Chains A and B, each alone.
Chain A
Amino acid sequence: DTAVSQTPKYLVTQMGNDKSIKCEQNLGHDTMYWYKQDSKKFLKIMFSYNNKELIINETVPNRFSPKSPDKAHLNLHINSLELGDSAVYFCASSQRRENTEAFFGQGTRLTVV
């Protein structure tokens, strides 16, 4: 069983479109994250949720909106996609009190054309 799974794995879309990436974890973790990895492999946190509550919101354009229906799911919706949004987006999860080890999903490679 996959611990952290995200879909889709690849996403190619045109500028201006709206798209969503889904993430689910079956580890029973309380905290989930979205990270963005750019073409230079720089990995930067975007959002963090703990038990469905937003606890970290980095300087991300408000076109990006995370949604956590329950603590096992954290989806990412992106409106009005821009070329600069092209990147690999990783979902991850960790225990609430011990964010010493994060488990990452396989990533979603988003290409905006």
Chain B
Amino acid sequence: GQSLEQPSEVTAVEGAIVQINCTYQTSGFYGLSWYQQHDGGAPTFLSYNALDGLEETGRFSSFLSRSDSYGYLLLQELQMKDSASYFCAVRKGGYQKVTFGTGTKLQVIP
């Protein structure tokens, strides 16, 4: 089987940096994606890591360590609009199946 773990809730101050961790256990691991979902909205893609290291896209960065089965999403210069749920998702190689974590609800406070 496979499982993903991420914190259920995180609170951070506007302008600060926050890191959302994701640990996974799966066979045939291929890559780790991150999605953002605002309340009442659809998940939207943020980033994807197939190799170890840091991927940066604007204020958001994503990190993967395959040997540690661990990744994180780093959000810098937090804005109020970043308040949302963030999901990590594992892709198994050879298939289109992507399994989502349970999500981390980020609340950005003034």
> Which A residues are in CB contact (< 8 Å) with B103?
41-43
> Which A residues are in CB contact (< 8 Å) with B85?
41
Scoring A residues 73 to 113 as 1 if CB is less than 8 Å from chain B, else 0, what string do you get? 00000000000000000101010100111111111000000
Question: Which of the candidate stretches B15-23, B41-49, B64-72, B74-82 sits at the interface with the other chain?
Answer: B41-49
Main SS of the interface on chain A?
Answer: strand
Band of interface residues on B: 20 to 34
Contact present for B100 and A44 (CB under 8 Å) = yes
Contact present for A104 and B44 (CB under 8 Å) = yes
Contact present for B91 and A99 (CB under 8 Å) = yes
Q: Give B contacts to A, CB under 8 Å.
A: 31, 33, 37, 41-45, 48, 50, 85, 87, 91, 95-100, 102-103
> Which A residues are in CB contact (< 8 Å) with B99?
45
Q: Give A contacts to B, CB under 8 Å.
A: 31, 33, 40-45, 48, 50, 55-56, 90, 92, 94, 96, 99-107
> Which B residues are in CB contact (< 8 Å) with A92?
43
Main SS of the interface on chain B?
Answer: strand
Contact present for A104 and B95 (CB under 8 Å) = no
> Which A residues are in CB contact (< 8 Å) with B50?
100
Q: How far is the CB of A86 from chain B (nearest CB, A)?
A: 16
> Which residue of the partner chain B has the closest CB to A103?
B45
> Which A residues are in CB contact (< 8 Å) with B31?
100
Contacts beyond the supplied A31-B96, A41-B85: 7 A-B pairs with Cβ under 8 Å: A45-B97, A45-B99, A48-B97, A100-B48, A100-B50, A101-B45, A101-B48
